[in-house]
Amino acid sequence: MAHAPQHTIESPKSFLSVKYMVFSISLSVLSMGLVIYFTWSPEGFEYVQLKRLPGLIIALVVTILRIWFQAAKYRILSDNMLSWPAAFRVILTWDFASAITPSTIGGGPVAAYAMTRENIPLGKSGGIMLSGVLLDQLFYVMIIPILITLGFYYDVIPPNVGWVGTSAMFLIYTILLVYAFVLAYGLLVNPKSLKRIVRIVFMIPFLRGMRRKIIVESDNLVEFSEALRRKPRGFLTKAFILSTLGWLAKISLPSIVVLSFLPADVLLTFLRSFSMTFAGLLVPTPGGSGGAEALFLLFQGPLFERVIFIGISIFMWRLYTYYLSIGLGVFVMTWYMKPRNKIVVQDESKTS
């Protein structure tokens, strides 16, 4: 019997850093503070309509639903190896890591660590994460053409960004679509072609140091693709529906917050939330801090009849999407740091 391949896994300390968290929170507070400072007007609260404020409760409910949809998605992708509590812990850990690490790192490595703490082998946790990423890309493929089409009839991209901003958004759309098609083709149609592309890319001089590790991972990619294609059609369909509902919940939050303070064009604010969210995927700062607030101001700000509510809306939106993730994440990471759970680092598959 040949032994199954062993994988090493790094502690979240390799990815998480107090300095990242402090920098991320400070940048977010500074950005919101500047917006509130320049839009503050005490008499503006005379225009608050109490009948609209329950929208903030709805926003909280939608936030909880987003977490549930994501937990259910990864529970399905794990073949129910993740219990419901474990699935919630993994998602909250992922959100927390994404909130305090640069976008170049993201929450993926920490989520893989979290899954191993839930007794899922590292090889399988990598496959689960890759499945989730694939479903995200399929969502982009479905939505971005719709946004581009509706852009001919609605100001999905604010006119005040000019041709530079419009060109940048179309570049973002293109990058997301190309990546989505390459990943979908590589995983679902021809994994060996994706493997060849990866190997060629990592022949570039400054990437050669990672080539050996990438070759091993590309071999795992082919095996994972074959396993994924053997799954029943309903497997990915259920996961895709949950993934889509999770994205819709996330994207609707800015609109719900906006409408909680003032009436606005419901369809337009919703469409702009899509574009704003996609643009935020490429913000390089930890948790998108600074960039996320600026994007909200740029996309949603012009829809406000009274500027007093712009800063408050940004605060409420970030409270639900960012600060809540940090608060819950700290609690969950404390649970993971306890020594009671065994880390599984060995692949399930064995060859004889």
2: in domain: no
Instruction: Report the domain count for the chain.
Output: 1
Cα angle, residue 304 at apex, residues 303 and 308 outer, rounded to 5°:
155
pLDDT of residue 351: 41
Ramachandran angles phi, psi of 6, nearest 5°? -100, 145
Q: Tell me how far apart the alpha carbons of residues 134 and 184 are, in angstroms, rounded to a whole number.
A: 7
pLDDT of residue 343: 46
- The 3-state secondary structure of the chain, one letter per residue: CCCCCECCCCCHHHCCCHHHHHHHHHHHHHHHHHHHHHHCCHHHHHHCCCCCCHHHHHHHHHHHHHHHHHHHHHHHHCCCCCCHHHHHHHHHHHHHHHHHCCCCCCCHHHHHHHHHHCCCCHHHHHHHHHHHHHHHHHHHHHHHHHHHHHCCCCCCCCHHHHHHHHHHHHHHHHHHHHHHHHHHHHHHCCHHHHHHHHHHHCCCHHHHHHHHHHHHHHHHHHHHHHHHHCCCHHHHHHHHHHHHHHHHHHHHHHHHHHHCCCCCCHHHHHHHHHHHHHHHCCCCCHHHCCHHHHHHHHHCHHHCCCCHHHHHHHHHHHHHHHHHHHHHHHHHHHHHCCCCCCCCCECCCCCC
pLDDT of residue 91: 94
pLDDT of residue 131: 82
8: in domain: no
79: in domain: yes
pLDDT of residue 350: 43
341: in domain: no
Q: Tell me how far apart the alpha carbons of residues 252 and 97 are, in angstroms, rounded to a whole number.
A: 22
81: in domain: yes
pLDDT of residue 68: 97
4: in domain: no
117: in domain: yes
Ramachandran angles phi, psi of 223, nearest 5°? -65, -40
pLDDT digits (tens, 9 = 90+) for 182-221: 777 777 777 777 667 666 665 656 455 555 665 666 666 6
pLDDT digits (tens, 9 = 90+) for 70-124: 999 999 998 899 999 999 999 999 899 888 877 656 677 778 778 888 888 766 7
Q: Tell me how far apart the alpha carbons of residues 101 and 20 are, in angstroms, rounded to a whole number.
A: 6
pLDDT of residue 273: 95
pLDDT of residue 349: 42
Ranges of the chain whose pLDDT falls below 70: 1-17, 43-51, 103-106, 122-123, 194-195, 197-221, 224, 339-352
Structural domain span for residue 140: 16-40+51-336
Q: Tell me how far apart the alpha carbons of residues 51 and 84 are, in angstroms, rounded to a whole number.
A: 36
5: in domain: no
